[in-house]
Structure 1
Amino acid sequence: MKRHRTRQRGLTIPELLIALTIGALITLAGASLLGIANTSYATQLDAAAVDDGGRYALDLVARAVRQAGLRDWDGFDPAAGIDPLAPPRILGLDARSIAKTGYGIDNPLPDAANGSDVLALRYQGAGPAPDGDGSALNCAGFPVHANEDGWSIFYVANNAQGEAELRCKYRGASSWAADAVVAGVDTFQVLYAVDTDTPADGVANVYLNASGVSALDAVYAPGPALQEHTHWKRVLAVRIALLLHGARPSYLSRETQVFDLFGAPYSDARAGMDAGTRLPEDQLAPGLRLRERHQFVTTVRLR
């Protein structure tokens, strides 16, 4: 029998080139899929963070609105009644910001973010000094006792990095202070449901911005009549809208989005007189475009 010995040979150059090409294509496809997966994961994290921040902010503001007008009935004197000249328990400003220190909303500052508003809420504390009974809390979570008025003021200002954030301002034991509530704010908008009937019947007739409510008071001269009859004491509910963006760009490109904070009909009728209620994305700074954006709206009735 004759044996036939076969010689072992390697790949030819064409075969090697084909194998390298196929391997490179597989590597590129895998890297592309990994990049897409990472981008999708980051976008989902960003969206979840925006949702959490928006829900938390609306919940905090809503609780403060429900607390506006709170009275300590344990210390209430029925014979004296409610002072008709007492200041209103709710006030607001359109397209303004305020200082971290300084009384209430006095000395307003220029708007910090696309016509964002200021919402100021006052309420009576409850329980003995110095810490009260814990039933009346300001927006920072500190108790307010019965011998002082508590404040929860919400406004937008820029932080040290230049990013707009919603803040809550409150009166501490010795001075005013403010804490950040949520960052990444595009705009913060407020409308007020007002009873405009004479005499008042306890039913809201119209939603107005802060300037509109104040304009109704033009019929009164400054003094006791204005203090007693101001329409700020006729606010029955508050509609709050907040537009937030994510921390980083999430899209390479997309059609320009337009955000109507209180719906398109309101924006069509009032956007020219109420800055920030309609916000096209292409009007934002280039670095803030193409980000994940969510808007949050709620309406809260005052007690």
Structure 2
Amino acid sequence: MEFLIALSLTLLLALLATGLLLVAAHGYRQHNDQQDLSDAAQQALAVMAQAIRQAAYVEWDSSSAPVGWMGETAPVAGLDGRSLARSSEGIAAPLPAVAHGSDVLALRYAGSGSGATGDGSSVNCAGFGVAAPTTLAAQGWSIFYVALDAAGVAELRCKYRSASGWGSDALVRGVESFQVLYGVNTDVPADGVPNGYFNATALEQFDAALVLEGANPAQRWQDLQRKTYWKRVGAIRVALLLRGEVATRADTGSRQFDLFGARYADAHTEDEGVRIDERRMPQAQRRRTRVMLETTIALRNTRS
């Protein structure tokens, strides 16, 4: 009888210890998953921040006026709720969006130095050096968009142009939403200070309302390039929501993520992806770890 009592107590203690071990292991997996997601999101935002600060750069260390100094085209462009093909020309042929209507952010800049990769001081989003261009078409590009990988998982990609043509590399997997807002100076005359943040659709609407001068479409297009609100962008806000690959949370998944804050999400219900509600997701996805990061980056080389 004493042996059976001792054995029962030992089994009970073993069960309790096993339960505590499982809880601790589950907590460790969730914490580790969250930390990995946070590190990945921060790295992706750091790459975007470098590219944004480089936008509109021109190399003045030359004996003649550098290509792009007159700002023939806006150095910043974007699309709402779109994706891109890996090898297509820039953002000229957008595809339907993935990952809750994720956006496209495109940045143009001149490189620095000569040769195939320049002097290394100017790089694209993939980290490759970009030389000073000899034509406008040879300017550097850093384009960020979301697409599905071979396994059907949404990933944030960096698209760039190299000597062999267009290509793109993955920056981070598990993207739930990638959203972009543009800080625009709407004052007339412009004073260079952003006084409102708008999505790409709003900027296109501003441009559509411009009164363009010119006797033919080509002249009106040139006038649009001079007046476009894309040249009034002085800062860019980017927000990224990532999810883990497996369910590691103990809760039932009922959180809401407002990528630019609740006030913006309430006022812009048409902007898909700025509000993500776990309660609207399939049950199998609700308990995945999620991390949201947002940052605002000022453009260093703005000019109109």
1:34 equivalent to 2:31? Answer no
Q: Which of the numbers 131, 153, 156 marks the counterpart of 1:166? A: 156
What are the equivalent positions in structure 2 for 1:49-60 lying under 5 Å apart?
A: 49-60=36-47
Match of 2:244 in 1: 246
Equivalenced residue count is 288
Identify unmatched segments of 5+ residues in structure 1: 1-13
Contact 2:80 2:103 in 1 (8 A): yes
Residue in structure 1 matching 2:189, options 196, 199, 215: 199
Identity %: 47
Q: How does 1:74-223 map to 2 (within 5 A)?
A: 74-75=61-62, 77=64, 82-83=69-70, 86-147=72-133, 148-220=138-210, 223=221
Cα distance between partner residues in 1 of 2:60 and 2:143: 24
CA 1:81 to 1:227, structure 2 compared with 1: closer, same or farther past 3 Å?
Answer: closer
The question of whether the paired residues in 1 share the 8 Å contact of 2:184 and 2:198 is answered with yes
**Higher CA-based Rg:** 1
Instruction: Write the distance in 2 (CA, Å) between the matches of 1:280 and 1:188.
Output: 15
RMSD over aligned Cα atoms? 1.8
Structure 2 equivalent of residue 19 of structure 1: 6
Quote the residue 1:72 is aligned against: 59
Name the CA distance, whole Å, in 2 between partners of 1:76 and 1:17: 95
**Offset at residue 81 of structure 1 (A):** 9.0
In the superposition, the TM-score normalised over structure 2's length comes to 0.90
- Tell me the SS of whatever aligns to 2:224: helix
Distance in 2, matches of 1:80 and 1:179, equals 27
State which drifts further: 112-121 or 29-38.
29-38
Cα deviation, 1:61-95, whole Å, max 9, x if unaligned, reads 011000001101113745999435x1110100001
Q: Which residue in 2 is equivalent to 1:233?
A: 231
The 1-side partners of 2:66 and 2:144 are apart by 35
Q: Deviations over 1:14-42 (max 9, x none)?
A: 33332222121111112111111211111
Q: CA deviation at 1:238?
A: 0.1
CA gap of 1:183–1:202, structure 2 versus 1, over 3 A, is: same
Q: Distance in 1 between matches of 2:191 and 2:64?
A: 25
Unaligned runs of 5+ in 2: 213-219
Give the C-alpha shift of residue 283 in structure 1: 2.2
Q: Which amino acid aligns with 2:244?
A: G
SS of alignment partner, residue 198 of structure 1:
coil
Q: Secondary structure at the match of 2:61?
A: helix
Following superposition, the deviation at residue 152 of structure 1 comes to: 0.5
Number of the residue aligned with 2:216: none
Residue identity opposite 2:127 in structure 1? G
Measure the CA separation in 2 of the matches of 1:264 and 1:109: 29
Q: Provide the rounded CA distance (Å) in 1 between the counterparts of 2:245 and 2:63.
A: 49
Partner of 1:75, secondary structure, is coil
Contact in 1 for aligned 2:254/2:277 (Cα 8 Å): yes
Instruction: Find the aligned partners of 2:111 and 2:66 in 1 and give their Cα distance.
Output: 21
Per-residue deviation at 1:286? 3.1
The answer as to 2:292 corresponding to 1:295 is yes
1:274 corresponds in structure 2 to: 271
**Who is 2:215 aligned against?**
none
Per-residue deviation at 1:255?
5.4
- 1:48 positional shift: 1.1
Shift in alpha-carbon separation, 1:166–1:204, aligned structure 2, 3 A: same
Give the C-alpha shift of residue 169 in structure 1: 0.4
Which letter does structure 2 place at the counterpart of 1:44?
H
